[in-house]
Structure 1
Amino acid sequence: MAQYSGQGQPILVLPEGTNRFIGRDAQRMNILAGKVLAETVRTTLGPKGMDKMLVDSLGDIVVTNDGVTILKEMDIEHPAAKMLVEVAKTQEDEVGDGTTTAVIIAGELLKKAENLLDMDIHPTIVAMGYRQAAEKAQEILNVISIDADDRDTLVKVAMTAMTGKGTEKAREPLAKLVVDAVKQVEEDGEVEIDHIKIEKKDGAIVDESTLVQGVIIDKERVHPGMPKKVEDAKIALLNCAIEVKETEVDAEIRITDPAQMQAFIDQEEQMIRDMVYSIVDTGAKVVFSQKGIDDLAQHYLAKAGILAVRRVKKSDMEKLSKATAANVVTNIEDLSETDLGLAGLVSEKRISGEEMIFVEDCKEAKAVTLLVRGSTDHVVSEIERALDDAIGVVAATVEDGKVVAGGGAPEIELAKRLKDYADAISGREQLAVAAFAEALEVVPKTLAENAGLDSIDSLVDLRAAHETSPYMGLDVFEGEVTDMYKAGVIEPHRVKKQAIQSAAEAAEMILRIDDVIASSGSGAPDMEGMEGMGGMPGGMPPMM
């Protein structure tokens, strides 16, 4: 990129081929990218949202209506669009649900901001107004939320999160499994959701999904001579190999006599035998090793009646430790009876044609496993994503103890109160706060559209209903406005709080950009031709 001096000589500031968009062009392009991304996931929102089929370069298929999964699987290049993908990822990490909501609110905030920019309102004023509105929205959310974390509420929260995500037939039993799992791993009012393992297997109906008070390991016994079932099992967890160690440096052993050779082999055998006997002496009946187990060690373990599993993942070892109260030992010589864990039953079972090790009936297990079943691999994968969302929302409700109504009720109430708040503000920020309020109405509007209802009529009815109660939302199955608490459509306070906060901050950041400089060699997209269709609706350059 060159600037011309007074003598007509070009002065190179940026390398050739660099794309640069300044001022209004940069803002228009970034806003367009955000709007297109929001439109892409918009149809998936709500109980009657549609699914997307995503096919990667290898031909692998993902069928889902989970917002963050769609955005992760799409090959997105546009820098502003990538910023909105980060919003979805943050929402997923913090709460586990509400990813689509966060993205469509961000897209709508950008759309409303474009109208304000066209009125010659400075982007900084818009960003400041949005920040004020977001802070006020959090205050209002605190007022309209209700304290509740009883079991019945938690089940309703889980069912709301799973509605419309391929789990319709079995969402109530699945919701109860999720609540049981979260309650089991809760410690001092906090939930470590990593301690809830989801193991998925196709070849059965969803109703056959179960919760195991312990851990399921997708492995099999290392030796067929080992017992298939061990009751009242004492369990040893080893982070070391049961085999003779290789020397650290290259070593050469010179043998001049056949008897020496035999003595060398006998010595190796004796070392392995000693390792196995040191395990047997502790009273262990089950061994899980993170590393390998020598063939000879397998033989001796089988003779001792010990069930052994090798090459167990580190994450599974941690869950086993939490479930059985066993210590992970890094040296067999240090293994003692106090390091062993307990489980009522350890058994090898055949599930969907594959052997799996079940560590069950653990007393006060602080790690549990949800065995998810489904008819096909794609079905069970979507159920797993729905359960992930449900676990996240139930955990958030247990930790915060606060819930809000669903069905677009909080967004309508926020919009109503933010409009009143806007009237009390002087200056141009008033317009930005009012725009923020209108943008929030995109959630109930989209719910209505996806359910095949008239979005204008639904919005009018909702606004009228909110004159009497802040909990009135849209029942998309009946097509009527109803009290969402009574209908059992409940969401965690944290879902709405995070979605509005992250959407507002992403919109602010994008609005404050007035210069986009894309290096030609950085792998950045060609941002020329924004007016053309470019492979996506709205004239955006190809994102996929």
Structure 2
Amino acid sequence: MYGGGSGPIVVLSQNTKRESGRKVQKENIQAAKNVADVVRTSMGPMAMLKMLMDPMGGIVMTNDGNAILREITVQHPAGKTMIEIARTQDEEVGDGTTSVIVLAGEILAISEQFIEQNMHPTVIIRAYRQALEDIVEILEKYVSIELDVKDRNKLIEVVKSCVGTKFIGRWSELACQIALDAVETVTLEENGRREIDIKRYAKVEKIPGGSIEESHVLKGVMLNKDVTHPKMKRLIKNPRIVLLDCTLEYKKGESQTNVEIMKETDFTRILELEEEHVKKICDEIISVKPDVVITEKGVADLASHYFLKAGISVVRRVRKSDNNRIARACGATVVNRTDELREEDVGTGAGLFEVKKLGDEYFCYITDCKDPKACTIVLRGASKDVLNETERNLQDALHVARNLLIEPKLVPGGGAVEMAVSRQLSEKANTIAGVEQWPYKELAKALDIIPKTLAQNCGANIIRTLTALRAKHATGGNTWGIDGETGVLVDMNVRNIWEPLSVKMQTYKTAIETAILLLRIDDIVSGSKKKSDGNENSGAGPTAESMME
């Protein structure tokens, strides 16, 4: 249980008084509000950055909600739940992590008044569940519009509205082109279904040096590797590529191996056997006439010598994930044993194998692939911090592009969709009988927190802006929202600021479900024993400072 202020964590043992019911619910709400307050200022185009310091002294500067919450340490169990939902949101749709935390915090904040009025949490939860069903229906039927996936300019505009709030916003055109190219490259259509696996097949390689404008998508794969022998060819056109998952070294004995050597010729014989084994596996590979051999394990010096004589370039100790990407890009099959190598396992889809030196390191490129279903995004930038932040932002852009291709529906951005949903929910609230209509009405108002935060972060007059925005929506202006840079009201249709429906839908579902989950908790029991020091519980709930270490 959390001790308020800087007090200790109070533990339930036989001699401590048990804490449950309304007190716990209030503390949970307080903890959730504190987490929401941390990320609230990092929302929208004029977002503030957070500087996060880890225990090792490393520094991260970011305004990505998920990255911020990943780095901070929270003691309170309800606070931990809030951090989990940002992770869920990121894994599901890859965007909207800040919105989901801010919204969940606000929904819990409005629940506090009903708990104080002795309304049973079950009643509040029932109202929220009903509201969530209505929100999904409103989004699908009234607010969303269809998107033509073939219209590349429209796709770029939507991805740009996602990237515009990030550090990479200054190069948004380039970032959008990169994201779309990468997603289109890894798209696989089977039986009328689209499979887009960004995590496994779109790798981001960060190379310090150069400017961000030099970043691009390779139609193939790039590895931070060099060939095993300096005399091997570093440039091969239309290479035949063999991918292996086995060692090209001497067969080592097991741990209990004993060898008895009676005379000096025995030792020579052992060495000959080792050489014969290496020669045999090399001959098996050379028989399929490859130009490049890439293995995930080690390569013996002797094997390198045989391959060099055969005019074959070898790359060793490649990551399994990289090997799978090369297999997808050039059409090869990863083979586990050399004696099983066949002609159809050789990849012939690549146009160029090249080893280049960038800075102090060697990079191996397999590019100009005929039909690559895998790609590498090469990011250049001034420093590691810049590159890390650019990669985080680019991941969001990739996810947005992926969501659009899987479910091509849009909703207006800039808080317009929240206002539109809020207005329709408020109208529906009047048709609900009984005490449940009050939490339902308050949930409709809670959605205003998104446009309110946007206005707050760019220094606009919050009350005046929101009143004007409500007036616009009341007269049927469904696509009016707030310009996150200036705080003035703009029509999102004219501004071309759109967001994918799947991101918004997931945001509302996750936020409301989490609020419901936390409201259902009426007891926190701790399993470890600690001594309490007089200052048991001030009941004020944790502050942001005491929650974070």
Normalised by the shorter chain, which TM-score bucket?
over 0.9
C-alpha displacement of 1:270: 2.2
Q: Rate the CA distance shift 1:211–1:267 in 2: closer, same or farther, 3 A.
A: same
Partner in structure 1 of residue 522 of structure 2: 514
Out of 475, 487, 496, the residue aligned to residue 488 of structure 1 is: 496
Cα distance in 1 for residues equivalent to 2:306 and 2:111: 72
Partner in structure 1 of residue 341 of structure 2: 335
| Mapped pair 1:474 → 2:473 | no
| Mapped pair 1:374 → 2:375 | no
Residue 412 of structure 1 aligns with an amino acid whose one-letter code is M
Structure 1 gap segments, 5+ residues each: 2-12
| Mapped pair 1:452 → 2:459 | yes
Partner in structure 2 of residue 5 of structure 1: none
Partner in structure 2 of residue 180 of structure 1: 181
Cα distance in 2 for residues equivalent to 1:300 and 1:334: 20
C-alpha displacement of 1:286: 1.1
Partner in structure 2 of residue 504 of structure 1: 512
Query: What secondary structure does 1:341 align onto?
Result: coil
Q: CA RMSD in A?
A: 2.2
Cα distance in 1 for residues equivalent to 2:544 and 2:482: 31
Out of 193, 196, 215, the residue aligned to residue 198 of structure 2 is: 193
Does the 8 A contact of 2:380 with 2:387 survive in 1? Answer: yes
Decide which moves more: 156-165 or 174-183. Answer: 156-165
Does the 8 A contact of 1:167 with 1:386 survive in 2? Answer: yes
Deviation by residue 1:283-304 (Cα, 9 ceiling, x = unmatched): 2111111111112112222232
| Mapped pair 1:130 → 2:128 | yes
Query: What secondary structure does 1:68 align onto?
Result: helix
| Mapped pair 1:306 → 2:312 | yes
Q: Rate the CA distance shift 1:19–1:377 in 2: closer, same or farther, 3 A.
A: farther
Out of 52, 59, 67, the residue aligned to residue 69 of structure 1 is: 67
Scaled by the length of structure 2, the TM-score of the pair is 0.92
Cα distance in 1 for residues equivalent to 2:18 and 2:50: 34
Deviation by residue 1:94-136 (Cα, 9 ceiling, x = unmatched): 1000000001000000000012222222211111111111111
Out of 288, 294, 315, the residue aligned to residue 321 of structure 2 is: 315
Q: Rate the CA distance shift 1:18–1:94 in 2: closer, same or farther, 3 A.
A: farther
Out of 347, 358, 369, the residue aligned to residue 354 of structure 2 is: 347
Does the 8 A contact of 1:349 with 1:355 survive in 2? Answer: yes
Query: What secondary structure does 2:525 align onto?
Result: strand
Partner in structure 2 of residue 436 of structure 1: 443
Partner in structure 2 of residue 9 of structure 1: none
Residue 33 of structure 2 aligns with an amino acid whose one-letter code is K
Cα distance in 1 for residues equivalent to 2:495 and 2:459: 20
Alignment of 1:47-58 (within 5 A): 47-58=45-56
Query: What secondary structure does 1:167 align onto?
Result: helix
Deviation by residue 1:427-484 (Cα, 9 ceiling, x = unmatched): 1111111111111110011011111111212211221222222111111234322221
Partner in structure 2 of residue 413 of structure 1: 420
Deviation by residue 1:272-320 (Cα, 9 ceiling, x = unmatched): 1221222122121111111111121122222322221111111111111
Q: How many residues align?
A: 529
Deviation by residue 1:383-407 (Cα, 9 ceiling, x = unmatched): 0000100111110110011111111
C-alpha displacement of 1:355: 1.3
Out of 73, 81, 84, the residue aligned to residue 83 of structure 1 is: 81
Does the 8 A contact of 1:19 with 1:527 survive in 2? Answer: no
Query: What secondary structure does 1:100 align onto?
Result: helix
Q: Rate the CA distance shift 1:352–1:535 in 2: closer, same or farther, 3 A.
A: farther
Residue 338 of structure 1 aligns with an amino acid whose one-letter code is E
Does the 8 A contact of 1:18 with 1:519 survive in 2? Answer: no
Cα distance in 1 for residues equivalent to 2:518 and 2:258: 65
Cα distance in 2 for residues equivalent to 1:308 and 1:98: 44
Decide which moves more: 425-434 or 527-536. Answer: 527-536
Does the 8 A contact of 1:185 with 1:365 survive in 2? Answer: yes
Deviation by residue 1:120-169 (Cα, 9 ceiling, x = unmatched): 22211111111111111111111211111232222122212211321122
Cα distance in 2 for residues equivalent to 1:16 and 1:103: 36
Q: Rate the CA distance shift 1:137–1:349 in 2: closer, same or farther, 3 A.
A: same
C-alpha displacement of 1:519: 2.5
Cα distance in 2 for residues equivalent to 1:17 and 1:399: 57
Cα distance in 1 for residues equivalent to 2:162 and 2:263: 73
Cα distance in 2 for residues equivalent to 1:106 and 1:330: 49
Partner in structure 1 of residue 167 of structure 2: 166
C-alpha displacement of 1:517: 1.3
Q: Rate the CA distance shift 1:325–1:521 in 2: closer, same or farther, 3 A.
A: farther
Out of 216, 230, 241, the residue aligned to residue 235 of structure 1 is: 241
Cα distance in 2 for residues equivalent to 1:419 and 1:472: 18
C-alpha displacement of 1:19: 7.5
Q: Rate the CA distance shift 1:296–1:107 in 2: closer, same or farther, 3 A.
A: same
C-alpha displacement of 1:322: 1.2
Cα distance in 1 for residues equivalent to 2:515 and 2:478: 27
Decide which moves more: 412-421 or 184-193. Answer: 184-193
Aligned-residue sequence identity (percent) comes to: 38
Query: What secondary structure does 2:195 align onto?
Result: coil
C-alpha displacement of 1:257: 3.0
Deviation by residue 1:71-99 (Cα, 9 ceiling, x = unmatched): 11111121001111111111000100000
